[in-house]
């Protein structure tokens, strides 16, 4: 691979790392700022989650507590919304925004929101594909070098391309995740206002909190895309080099 490609990918990965660091600092900064801002309804993250579930006709989802900071998540298989310790019992603008965001995912599943369904379907495929990607590329390279040397079979190359495609599933997952998270935040703000948990004056602060969180998913997508392109170019370069040596 030409040196300029290595330099380009290094610069791109450095840019992604800087943006990811910025996004992480942004979300924790917003959480700290709006985590110290009591909401007017005095409802905690737990209160918010329970009310939004009940008032939206969801009766089969429980609300639990997990350790960590911003470790909140919805586990559809276990039918539970887990709220982090700082969100569960806190009556701040940030706490109810984060809790409502997780309920937004519950509502996505209930409504059959298409991007959410696609992301859910991709989870096991992505996990499986990420484990097979590199082995398939290496097997393909070995086939191309030794088994089919001197023959124009192309089987090794095609096998490696399958590996690249499987590796790309993680990028596809990150691509689908972004609209899912943005939609969950949109639903959260709408529910918080409709239920009177936050006022019109407080919603912009919740918006800033949720937008900061969304930037971390954008950073993940950018990083995943750069690594996928790096992997694809590496594979193409390997096969180009092996063909020149014949």
pLDDT tens-digit readout, 99-146? 999 999 999 999 999 999 999 999 888 877 667 766 767 776 666 665
State residue 144's pLDDT score: 61
State residue 79's pLDDT score: 96
State residue 36's pLDDT score: 95
**How far is Cα 180 from Cα 230, in angstroms, rounded to an integer?**
26
* DSSP codes joined into one string, 70-103: S--EEETTTTEEEEEHHHHT--BHHHHHHHHHHH
State residue 143's pLDDT score: 64
> Picking from 29-43, 180-194, 216-230, which range would have the lowest pLDDT averaged per residue?
216-230
Say what the pTM is: 0.85
Rounded average pLDDT over 55-74: 95
**How far is Cα 9 from Cα 104, in angstroms, rounded to an integer?**
36
**Catalytic pick from 102, 181, 200, 202?**
102
State residue 141's pLDDT score: 67
Question: Annotated catalytic, 102?
Answer: yes
State residue 241's pLDDT score: 55
State residue 69's pLDDT score: 92
Beta bridge partners, 84, equal 66
**How far is Cα 160 from Cα 162, in angstroms, rounded to an integer?**
5
Secondary element (H or E) of residue 107: helix 93-111
Looking at per-residue pLDDT, the higher value among 138 and 194 belongs to: 194
Domain boundaries defined on the chain:
3-244
Three-class SS of residue 127? Answer: helix
Mean pLDDT of the chain: 88
> Picking from 110-114, 156-160, 211-215, which range would have the lowest pLDDT averaged per residue?
156-160
State residue 2's pLDDT score: 64
State residue 151's pLDDT score: 54
Instruction: Show the beta-strand stretches assigned E in the chain.
Output: 62-66, 73-75, 80-84
State residue 10's pLDDT score: 87
Looking at per-residue pLDDT, the higher value among 124 and 48 belongs to: 48
Rounded average pLDDT over 53-82: 95
State residue 225's pLDDT score: 92
């Amino acid at each position: 691979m030409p040196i300029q490609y290595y330099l380009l990918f290094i610069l791109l990965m450095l840019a992604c790392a800087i943006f990811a660091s910025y996004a992480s600092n942004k979300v924790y900064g917003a959480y700290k700022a709006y985590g110290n801002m009591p909401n007017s309804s005095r409802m905690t993250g737990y209160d918010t989650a329970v009310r939004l579930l009940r008032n939206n006709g969801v009766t089969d989802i429980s609300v639990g507590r997990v350790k960590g900071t911003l470790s909140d998540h919805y586990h559809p298989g276990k039918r539970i919304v887990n709220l982090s310790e700082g969100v569960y019992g806190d009556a701040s603008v940030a706490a109810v925004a984060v809790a409502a965001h997780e309920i937004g995912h519950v509502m996505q599943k209930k409504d059959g929101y298409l991007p959410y369904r696609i992301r859910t379907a991709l989870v096991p495929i992505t996990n499986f594909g990420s484990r097979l990607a590199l082995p398939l590329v290496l097997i393909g390279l070995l086939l191309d070098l030794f088994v089919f040397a001197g023959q124009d079979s192309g089987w090794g190359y095609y096998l490696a391309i399958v590996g690249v495609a499987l590796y790309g599933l993680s990028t596809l997952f990150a691509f689908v995740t972004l609209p899912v998270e943005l939609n969950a935040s949109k639903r959260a703000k709408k529910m918080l206002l409709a239920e009177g948990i936050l006022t019109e004056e407080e919603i912009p602060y919740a918006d800033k909190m949720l937008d900061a969180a969304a930037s971390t998913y954008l950073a993940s997508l950018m990083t995943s895309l750069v690594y996928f392109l790096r992997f694809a170019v590496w594979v193409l370069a390997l096969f180009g080099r092996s063909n020149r040596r014949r």
